[in-house]
Structure 1
Amino acid sequence: MPKVDVSKLDDDKKLKIIQKAIEKHGLSYVSRHTGVSRSTLNRYINGKIQKIPNNVIEKASELLTVDELSDIIYGVKTTDIDPTTVISAIIKAKKDEGFRNFFLTLLWQELGDYIKEPSNSYMVTKKDVELFEKLIRNEKEKKTAEDRINYLKRALADLNYELTPTKLKEYILDLSKESKGKAEHTAKALKLFIKEVIKPKSPRIARELYDSFNIPKMKPNHKPINLPLDTVKSIFSNIEELGAKAFFLILAETGLRVGEVLSLKLDQVDFEYRVIKIMKENETKRAYITFLHENTATWLKEKYLPYREEFIKKYESSLRKLAEVNTNQGIDIERWKAKLFPFREDGLRVEIKEAMKKVLGKEFRLYDIRAFFTSYMVKQKVPGTIVNLLQGRASPQQFRIMEENYFTISETELREWYDKYAPRLL
Structure 2
Amino acid sequence: MTTHTTMEVEPYFYRLTDAQRIEVVRCLAERFEVSPSEIAKAAGVSKTAVSKWLRGLAAPQVDKLSAIHGAMPDAVAKCLPQPAPTRVEVDLALSVVARALGDPALKEYVLAQLESLLPGQVKREIAYRVSREDVELFRGKLKAEGLSAYSVAARVRYLVKFLNAVGWILTPENLQRVYAVESPNVAQKTAMALKKFIKAVVRARDPAAAPLLYDAFRLPKVKARGLHAADAGGGEARVGGGAQDIAVRRRHMGHHGRDWR
Would you call these one fold, judging by a TM-score over 0.5?
no
Task: Give the TM-score of the pair, scaled to structure 1.
Answer: 0.28
State the structure with more CA Rg: 2
Task: Give the TM-score of the pair, scaled to structure 2.
Answer: 0.44
